[in-house]
Amino acid sequence: MTAAPAAAGKSAALERYEAVIGIEIHCQLKTVSKMFCGCSTEIDGAAPNSHCCPVCLGLPGVLPTINRTAVEWVLATGFAIEATVAPTTRWDRKNYFYPDLPKGYQISQYQLPLAANGRLTFDTSEGPFTVRVRRAHLEEDTGRLIHDELGGRRVSLIDFNRSGMPLMEIVTEPDIRTAEQARRYAEELRLLMRTIGASDAEMENGQMRVEANVSIRPRGQESFGTRVEVKNMNSMRAVERAIAYEIERQAVAVDAGETIHMETRGWDEARQSTYHMRPKEEENDYRYFPEPDLPPLLTSPEWLAGIKARLPELPSVRRVRYREAFGLSAYDADVLVNDAAAAALFEGALAAGAGVPAKLLANWVTGEYMRLAKGGEGSGGGAAGRVDAAELAALVKLVAGGAISGTNAKEVFGEHFASGAGVASIVKARGFRQISDAGALGAAIDQVLAANPAAVADYRAGKAAAVGFLVGQVMKATRGQANAGMVQTALRERLDKAE
Amino acid sequence: MTDLTRLHAHEMSPLLRVGEVSSRALTEAHLAAAERQNHSLNAWLVIYRTEALAQADAADRRLAEARRTGPAALAALHPLCGVPVGLKDLVSVKGGQATAGSKILAGYIAPFDSTVTARLRQAGAVILGKTNMDEFAMGSSTEHSAYGPTANPWDLTRVPGGSSGGSAAAVAAFHVPLAIGTDTGGSIRQPASMCGVVGMRPTYGRVSRYGIVAFASSLDQIGPFGRDVRDAAILLHAVSGHDRRDATSAPIPVPPELLSLPDSDDEAASYLRGRRIALPREYFVEGMEPGVAARVREAVAAMQAAGAKVEEVSLPHTDYGLATYYIIAPAECSSNLARYDGVKYGFADRSSGEFIADYLRTRGAGFGPEVKRRIMLGTYALSAGYYDAYYLKAQKVRTLIKADFDAVWAAGFDSICAPTSPTVAFPLGAKLADPVAMYLIDACTLPVNMAGLPGVSVPAGLSDGLPVGLQIVGAPWSELSMLRLARAYEAITARATWRAVEPAELHLTDDPTTPSPAERMTRHTQGASATGSGGQA
Ligand SMILES: [Zn+2]
């Protein structure tokens, strides 16, 4: 086997080959009960086989009943990715034998997925990119095999808690060309799932599973190369790295005259490489046929209209609105849209305070708020309090109106974050007000110039940075209340005039 | 006092209500008969003496309480309260076995009640035990049971029909007035015909399939056996109705009139006046025994004489019924039976230590030859490259078969009359070597399943001393009018001499030296291949 290079660097081989990537994502849908029975979906941390019933254990004689909420989540996803939603759908059996598959078949959708021909657009470092989504369908999860040792014997144990959990499978067309696009697609889909509420889509606990089909072909060639399936990518970073690694591995192998084999490979996080899991010599014959235990499902126009009407603002729409209506930078808009709590605070503060400058507010939310919320310095170790949107609006207005300096405002915000006290009362108690009076500032500046002749000399010797030091000294002398902008202007005037 | 086992359920009910007879006494009498005669019939795979008596006592308490409360409370009780019933051994009863006649389900204990079971409990019926059947309901003779064949009480050397042969034989032998069977291709009607009892398959979706071990999901229906039409209607009433656990069960109300089919023969017979009966020429098939054809034609003539209008019709796709059935049913069963892998319950051979090999060993030893044959047929029909030619094509033909029937209803006919089975009960082992001959036994019942229709087989006399069944088929959801017609036929033949004849060899079953059906079959099949057999369901 060829020693594959590290994923990070770009090899010369990549310039000759183009990658063709398709992504399959399984999302565990947010429902109270499982796909075809009444068992609870709260299986995290539960004892093995504690969330099972005759139906999800596939006992003789049991029958499935459809969880309508799960269907609605797929339909909602379909609308969100501009897919065609089927007026009639049906269920198919995918037949195969495996110990974690209690019925010997999985109820899935084969011929008539709930949603088809959608697309998802997202930003990449090379600009916006659109991936066509071939289909989104509903299916049930399997149980889990655990290989263990009991009394010195190797045994395989089965936990059926996950059996029958509702899953949505979303399959793209082979439109993706780079590892970054793949990662961004997965991130955008995750954001979409969380925004519409269909799934928590946590990769770490298997609520979202990403698989990639990766092949390469010489640039300019139409036909696809042999594809390799890559699994076990447990984070977005892993998705990007595994695919990048796999592209490079294939390119190097082809350059060396090797043949790429159809296979399933896993991502090894520790080694940062993919490894052979099993060959995929031919497609399995799953003997799909329509599930006779479930009648076809009609999606009535009224039902669909209701689902569509309940869709929240989608991330792509929200980004545009933030940029166009509030003049936010693409970066700020993206940061806000990617953080539900931050976006809610932003929108809440806008609604609470008439005339709050949106861009300044966005800076506060993406800056101070997110720093504290993530448990940054001064947040009290992350045990953060809640920020009241109206209080934040009031604070930002004080800053914008020049009534309080930026430095003091950060202190006020920190205290509000920690204690929940009102902004006005904190400002009053701390005696914060901004000194914007030229006379008062002039006196303070004179004192600082007199006390720091070395810095003055540095400035005059051409060290412009010395101004920063002097501004800091003035702020210190005024306990942070000086209008920093005015101080800077006045200082320069004095220094330049006296030259 | 009369022999309690000779009572019909509709006769037991009034006696139970007034307290003239207790459920315990009824249950004791039936238990005694079943226990005494099962050796020579093998109709029962398990008899629940203790549980049945406890249920009987509970029913007696309910009856006593209702008597104290008043006539309204008594009337609110289901007529089945206190009445013993048998269940085919694929009906899940919490805490009990459900072998489906298969070795692979040996040792499996159902942890839940089927909807049918739950409804019977609610009605207060007494579950006497579980009856024998062809393995997974695949067969037409009950010879494919892993627990030995069942004998026909009319002639112990013959089969009772199948796959619900145990239920049919138990009802014919007066072990229970009523029993539950399932009908995927004729498995209620055909054994009813061969055992001289009433057996009815409801419209697909009328009775919940939840908790009934599946054979072919799109064809399976659960239905009653009884010794007359009124009894069958009462049991149908108890188990019917929409069930949210079965997505294919229909939200169609159950007619309460099922409980009040006329007792008076004159009143019952009057229903025939002006009814239009279709006689499909394709159902008088080649190879039909003359005695069978004669009895069915006499029955139709009698109905005509009583005022019904009979016309010959054509169901042109009848010939394709068998071939399409043997694609669709095996396809569905190949998938339905995939769960029997030895991993979770039932029989398992884990000697290889490797799971694929264990699967092969478990399924190889756990399934009988007929089940394996159908799993292979179905797996083949669903395989990539064959799906369109077989399964999809069969579904299209199925639509045509259904359209044949639709045309009859659209032409204004009330029902279709035909033979249930082209032959009377055949000797044990006679068709085991010839699967196609076995499959042909169901040519007249299969199309009804393909179309999802209700059908009932009622006794229509004897041919060479063995029962012949008349099949009456109705439009979807027409169970009530179909059973009224069946009751009317029963009424106009109430005084026929053959009605008074009891199964001819029933007396032999009391003799402990009478050989068991398994012993008889061994004698019959000596030299013949035990693996070359067939039959529908
Ligand atoms: Zn469950």
Cα of A287 from ligand 1 centre, angstroms: 25
Q: Is the pLDDT of residue B358 over 50?
A: yes
Cβ-Cβ contacts under 8 Å, A144 against chain B: none
Closest partner residue to A102 among B108, B331, B339, by Cβ? Answer: B339
- Residues of chain B in contact with residue A289, where contact means CB-CB under 8 angstroms, are 331, 335, 382, 387, 391
- Distance (Å) from CA A160 to ligand 1 centroid: 9
Mean pLDDT of the region A360-378: 83
> A95 vs B344: CB contact, 8 Å cut-off?
no
pLDDT tens sequence across B95-105? 999 999 999 99
Instruction: Please give the single-letter amino acid code of residue B250.
Output: A
Distance (Å) of CA B322 to CA A258, B392, B407, B441, B475:
54, 16, 20, 10, 21
The Å distance, Cα A89 to ligand 1 centre, comes to 23
Amino acid at A263: E
Q: Is the peptide bond before B163 cis (omega within 30 degrees of 0)?
A: yes
Taking contacts as CB-CB distances below 8 angstroms, the residues of chain A near B243 are none
Residues B201, B220: Cα–Cα separation, whole Å:
9
Of A61, A93, A99, the CB nearest to B335: A93
pLDDT in tens, A29-68: 999 999 999 999 999 999 999 999 999 999 999 999 999 9
Q: How far is B202 from chain A (nearest CA, A)?
A: 17
Are residues B211 and A61, on separate chains, in Cβ contact within 8 Å?
yes
Q: Which of B525, B289, B37, B247 is nearest to A37 (CA)?
A: B247
Question: Nearest CA to B175 among B283, B307, B40, B310?
Answer: B40
Confidence at residue A235, expressed as pLDDT on a 0 to 100 scale: 96
Could you state, in order of their start, the residue ranges of all structural domains in chain A?
13-298, 315-430, 438-496
Count CA atoms within 13 Å of residue A329 on its CB side. Answer: 8
In angstroms, the Cα distances linking B12 to A493, B7, B15, B21, B224 are 115, 6, 5, 8, 17
- Here the tokens at position B53 are 């008596």
Q: Does A124 touch chain B (CB under 8 A)?
A: no
Partner residue facing B341 (CB), from A104, A294, A295? A104
Query: Looking at per-residue confidence, does B522 or B497 come out higher?
Result: B497
CATH architecture of structural domain A438-496: Orthogonal Bundle (1.10)
Q: In what order do the strands lie in the sheet with A208-218?
A: A84-85, A115-124, A127-140, A166-172, A17-28, A208-218, A228-233, A263-268, A273-279
What letter would DSSP give residue A25? E
Type of residue found at A478: T
Residue A282: per-residue pLDDT: 65
User: Quick one: tokens of B314?
Assistant: 């054509």
- Report yes or no: B92 and B50 within 8 Å, Cβ to Cβ: no
| Alpha carbons B149 and B41: distance in angstroms, whole number | 8
A61 to B212: CB separation less than 8 angstroms, yes or no: yes
Check CB contact under 8 Å for A102 and B331.
no
Q: Which A residues, 78 through 97, put their C-beta within 8 Å of a C-beta on chain B?
A: 93, 95, 97
CA atoms within 13 A on the CB side of A239: 26
Q: Nearest 10 degrees: CA dihedral of A353, A359, A361, A367? A: 170
DSSP secondary structure of B188-240: THHHHHHHTSEEEEPPTTSB--TTBPPS-TTT-EEEEEESSHHHHHHHHHHHB
Give residue B433's pLDDT: 86
- What are the pLDDT digits (tens) for B48-60? 999 999 999 999 9
Contact (CB<8Å) A99/B341:
yes
Structure tokens of A67?
A: 């969880």
Characterise A232 by phi-psi region: left (phi > 0), alpha (psi -120 to 50), beta (else): left
List chain A residues with CB under 8 Å of B337.
104
- Stretch B131-142: mean pLDDT, rounded? 98
> How far is CA B465 from its chain centroid?
22
**A289: phi then psi, degrees, rounded to nearest 5:** -155, 160
Domains annotated on chain B, with CATH: 4-263+272-319+399-524 (3.90.1300.10)
d(CA A70, CA A137): 10
Is some CB atom of chain A closer than 8 A to the CB atom of B214? Answer: yes
Q: Please give the torsion angle defined by the CA atoms of residues B52, B56, B62 and B68, in that order, rounded to the nearest 10 degrees.
A: -170
Angle at B11 between CA B5 and CA B16, to 5 degrees: 90
d(CA B522, CA B417): 37
Contacts A–B by Cβ distance under 8 A: 99
Which of A369-378, A485-494, B441-450 is the most confident on average?
A: B441-450
This model of the complex carries an ipTM of 0.95
Per DSSP, the residues of A242-261 read HHHHHHHHHHHHHHTTPPPP
CA gap A329, B358 in Å, rounded: 62
Query: Tens digits of per-residue pLDDT, A59-97?
Result: 999 999 999 999 999 999 999 999 999 899 999 999 999
Residue B389 confidence (pLDDT): 93
Q: What is the DSSP string of B47-83?
A: E-HHHHHHHHHHHHHHHHHHHHH-HHHHHHS-TTTT-
Q: Do B210 and A63 touch (CB under 8 A)?
A: yes
Determine the residue of chain A that is closest to B344 in CA distance: A102
Query: What is d(CA A118, CA A173) in angstroms, rounded to the nearest whole number?
Result: 10
Contacts of B17 (CB under 8 A, 6+ apart): B63, B66, B67, B74, B77
SS3 B122: helix
Angle, helix B229-239 to helix B115-123, in steps of 10 degrees: 110
What is the rounded average pLDDT of the residues B314-321?
95
**Rounded to an integer, what distance in angstroms lies between the CA atom of residue B101 and that of residue A402?**
88
Distance A63 CA to ligand 1 centre (A): 11
Judged by a CB distance cut-off of 8 A, whether residue B98 touches chain A is yes
Measured CA to CA, the distance from residue A99 to residue B356 in angstroms comes to 9
B214–A61 C-beta distance less than 8 A? yes
Task: Give the pLDDT confidence score for residue A385 in this predicted structure.
Answer: 57
- Within 8 A of B245 by CB-CB distance, chain A residues are 63, 65
Average the pLDDT over A459-463 and give the result.
84
Query: Helix (H) and strand (E) counts for chain A?
Result: 17, 16
pLDDT tens digits for range B431-461? 988 888 888 889 999 999 999 999 999 999 9
Active site residues of B: 88, 163, 187
A10 pLDDT band, cuts 50/70/90, is low
Is the pLDDT assigned to residue A2 strictly greater than 50? no
- Copy the structure tokens of residue B33: 């008969």
Partners of B473 in beta bridges: B416, B455
Per-residue model confidence (pLDDT) at position A405: 78
Tell me which residue has tokens 């039409």: B229
Does the beta-carbon distance from B247 to A58 stay under 8 Å?
A: no
Q: Which residues of B touch A156 (CB under 8 A)?
A: 355
Is B247 in Cβ contact with A59 (below 8 Å)? no
The 8-class DSSP code of residue B337 comes to G
Report the pLDDT value the prediction gives residue A14, as an integer from 0 to 100: 73
Mutate to test the interface with A, among B88, B343, B380, B396 (most CBs of A within 10 A): B343
- Contact partners, residue A310, CB within 8 Å, separation at least 6: A76
pLDDT digits (tens, 9 = 90+) for B210-224: 999 999 999 999 999
Contact A63 B341 (CB under 8 A): no
Given this model, what pLDDT does residue A398 score?
Answer: 85
| Residue A372 confidence (pLDDT) | 86
pLDDT single digits (tens) A207-237: 999 999 999 999 999 999 999 999 999 999 9
Interval A94-115 mean pLDDT? 96
Interface probe for B, chosen from A289, A291, A298 (most Cβ of B below 10 Å), is: A289
Per-residue pLDDT band at A6 (split at 50, 70, 90): very low
Q: Least CA distance to B345: which residue of chain A?
A: A59
Provide, as residue numbers in chain B, all residues whose Cβ is less than 8 Å from the Cβ of A63: 209-210, 245-248
More confident: A387 or B411: B411
pLDDT for B526 equals: 59
For chain A, how many residues are written? 499
Contact between chains at A60 and B359 (C-beta distance less than 8 A): no
What average pLDDT does this structure show over B181-198? 98
Length of chain B: 537
What does the pLDDT read at residue A449? 86
Band of the pLDDT at B322, cuts 50, 70, 90?
very high
- Residue B524 confidence (pLDDT) above 70: no
Q: How far is the CA of B92 from the centre of ligand 1 (A)?
A: 17
Residues near B28 by Cβ (< 8 Å), separated by ≥ 6? B53, B56
Inform me whether the C-beta atom of residue B260 falls under 8 Å from chain A C-beta atoms: no
A97 interaction partners in chain B (CB closer than 8 Å): 338, 341, 356, 359
Would you call A62 an interface residue with chain B, using a CB distance cutoff of 8 Å? yes
Tens of pLDDT, residues A149-198: 888 888 889 999 999 999 999 999 999 999 999 999 999 999 999 999 99
Read off the pLDDT band of A13 (50, 70, 90). low
For residue B246, which residues of chain A lie inside 8 Å, CB to CB?
63, 293
C-alpha–C-alpha distance, residues B451 and B465, integer Å: 33
Q: A99 and B110: CB-CB below 8 Å?
A: no
Closest chain B residue by Cα to residue A67: B247
Whether the pLDDT of residue B312 is over 90: the answer is yes
